[in-house]
Amino acid sequence: MSPVLSATVVLLSAWGTAPQSDLSCEQVDLVELNHFFDDQGRHVFDQMIFYDWSPEQNRYQVRAWRLLKSASQQPRHDWERDLYVATWQDGDLFRKVLAKAMKETWTQHDPELAEREYLPKEMRRELYHPRVVLRDKELVP
């Protein structure tokens, strides 16, 4: 067996046995990059808030939110597709969320919490959650 063929066989066999994380790619209408500050003006946290447009309510409604753990998670503009793209590792799931529009805010209130007045958290669509099957029972992690 040639060295090139041997290397190819080794790579293919390793690729098949390596743990694979799931990929979730979704699109929302708006992503907000929010920087939250306390009453003394101290930075508390950064978060991404994902919104879908509701024609019935004639407003954007929160779909989900995630804390930013690193600057690499921030949405970036994809000039080719004219979309904003946020990618990050979310547990075992690799997420990519595309948004038609983006806004960046600096607030002393949490916009996601305020939005619960309009659409309770339990009523939100949320981002995709893979289902885990364990002995014929379906569980959501």
135 to 74, 138, 139: CA distances (angstroms)? 38, 8, 10
- In this prediction, residues 133-137 reach a mean pLDDT of 47
- In this prediction, residues 20-45 reach a mean pLDDT of 90
pLDDT digits (tens, 9 = 90+) for 9-22: 444 444 444 344 57
Indicate the pairing of strand 22-37 with strand 93-107: parallel
Radius of gyration of the chain, Cα coordinates, nearest whole angstrom: 20
pLDDT above 60 (res 136):
no
Cα 8 to chain centroid, rounded? 35
Residues 6 or more apart in contact with residue 12 via CB below 8 angstroms: none
Listed by start position, the domains of the chain span 21-139
Nearest 10 degrees: CA dihedral of 126, 49, 61, 96?
-50
Cα 90 to chain centroid, rounded? 8
Q: What is the mean pLDDT of the chain?
A: 81
Q: Looking at residue 124, what is its pLDDT?
A: 84
- In this prediction, residues 92-97 reach a mean pLDDT of 89
Query: Phi, psi at residue 132, to the nearest 5°?
Result: -110, 130
Query: Phi, psi at residue 105, to the nearest 5°?
Result: -130, 155
